[in-house]
Structure 1
Amino acid sequence: MKDWTTVLKAADAAARWHVHQRRKGAAQEPYMNHLLEVASLVADATHGQDPELVIAALLHDAIEDQGVPSELIAREFGNKVAEIVVEVTDDKSLDKAERKRLQVEHAPQKSNAAKIIKLADKTSNVRAIAFAPSPDWSVKRRLDYIDWAKKVVQGLRGTSPWLEAQFDRAVEDAERSLAVPRSRT
């Protein structure tokens, strides 16, 4: 029971840390929706057996997006959680293209815990392209993101067949949402 109380404390912390952040989609939904979706995917993929991993999923963008110190995460949620969050955090001092390249390159070397969070994160992001895309993203930019996400996930495969299937379904939905309907003549 204590573990799941800590999960709720992590959800509260994530909501507070990301309170002003919004998703890129037209609805501008609270960023917390993304964090909850990633955590939910992780919980389902692990059959609810790894509360620390669910906590790390809730906090996976805290360092990268909000500058939350890893020491604070360690103090509040434990060293294991902080280590996983650090492992899935991009180095924002690098330009975007380099960060994306490194995600593809480093994916196969990640721990299983980090791979599960990365799979869930990419699944959530690709779902957003299918169901709530940013109005500022052209079709080409959305297709480019999907192609890049598939390259990252290629290095994560073999970690969670269920989560990989969720990603594959998200890709199908996103690609279908971008397809031009054929005329019926």
Structure 2
Amino acid sequence: MTALLDFARALEFAAHKHIDQRRKGVRAEPYLNHLSEVAFLCAEATAGNDPVVVIAALLHDTLEDTDASYEEIEQHFGAEVAGVVAETTDDKRLRKAERKQRQIDAAPTASSRAKLVKLADKVSNLRSMAHSPPADWPLERKIEYFEWAHAVVAGLRGTDARLESLFDRAYEDGLAELRGEAV
């Protein structure tokens, strides 16, 4: 029962912290939709047996996109969850190109839990980019995003075959859809 209560508390925390945020895509979905998809993918990957990774998936963007602090996450959800969230957080003080390269470089040495969250995040992001891309992104930028995500996931391989297959499908289908957009 504790895991279920912890999950509900994490869902409420994430919903509150991301309350005014929307996805960048043309549909401008509530940001919580992305967090719930990432958590769902992680829950499936672990057959529901690792609440730490599922809760971290719900919270994976709170440090970089909200006013939440590491200490706050640790206090509410414990050191294990806070550690996974920290591992999946970009340092917004760095330039975008450096942040993106750090994700590529850090992927192979991340913890298994952080790898699951990152992999699920990339699946969700590619699906979103294919079906609801930012309106102001030219085709070249969208394709560059797909290629960068592919480079990150290369360092996550061996984590979960099913998630990797979902990523590969999202990558291939998304690129095909984007290339069809150029016609």
Interval of TM-score (by shorter of Structure 1 and Structure 2): over 0.9
Alignment of 1:18-167 (within 5 A): 18-167=18-167
Q: Is the 8 A contact 2:119 2:167 kept in 1?
A: yes
Q: RMSD between aligned alpha carbons? A: 1.4
Q: Which runs of 4+ in 1 moved over 4 A?
A: none
Residue 180 of structure 2 aligns to a residue whose secondary structure is coil
1:115 deviation in Å?
A: 0.4
- Determine the C-alpha separation between the residues in 1 that align with 2:16 and 2:116: 24
- Determine the C-alpha separation between the residues in 2 that align with 1:25 and 1:156: 26
1:179 deviation in Å?
A: 2.0
- Determine the C-alpha separation between the residues in 1 that align with 2:106 and 2:68: 23
1:113 deviation in Å?
A: 0.4
Which ranges in structure 2 are unaligned for 5 or more consecutive residues? none
Is 1:4 the counterpart of 2:4? The answer is yes
Q: Which one has the largest radius of gyration?
A: 1
Residue 135 of structure 1 aligns to a residue whose secondary structure is coil
Count of paired positions: 183
TM norm structure 2: 0.97
- Determine the C-alpha separation between the residues in 2 that align with 1:117 and 1:6: 17
- Determine the C-alpha separation between the residues in 2 that align with 1:59 and 1:33: 12
TM norm structure 1: 0.96
Distance 1:140 1:182, change over 3 A: closer
1:47 deviation in Å?
A: 0.6
1:176 deviation in Å?
A: 1.4
Distance 1:95 1:4, change over 3 A: same
- Determine the C-alpha separation between the residues in 2 that align with 1:49 and 1:144: 35
